[in-house]
């Protein structure tokens, strides 16, 4: 078609090829280092999200109840 322009191809890395930046534990709002239990990454569309699991409990939250199992008789 006359006048149609093609997009230039670049050798820039794609979003899925770019590693996510390292976790910065000293950033404002981050939990204490000793309370981080795990970090999971997941993708939704083109965005990558990090879920930081901690063992911290806020004062308004109830601690998790331990699972009840069979009682052992000694």
- Domains of the chain, residue spans: 32-56
pLDDT at 2: 63
Closest CA to 39 of 21, 15, 57: 21
Please report, rounded to a whole number, the percentage of residues in the chain having pLDDT higher than 70: 62
Mark the ranges of the chain whose per-residue pLDDT is less than 70. 1-20, 67-74
- Residue 35 sits at φ, ψ, to 5 deg, of -100, -10
Neighbours of 1 (CB within 10 A): 4
pTM: 0.50
């Amino acid at each position: 078609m006359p006048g149609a322009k093609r997009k230039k191809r670049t050798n820039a890395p794609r979003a899925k090829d770019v590693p996510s930046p390292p976790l910065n534990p000293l950033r404002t709002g981050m939990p204490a280092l000793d309370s981080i239990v795990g970090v999971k990454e997941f993708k939704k569309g083109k965005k990558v999200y990090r879920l930081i699991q901690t063992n911290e409990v806020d004062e308004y939250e109830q601690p998790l109840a331990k699972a009840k199992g069979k009682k052992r008789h000694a």
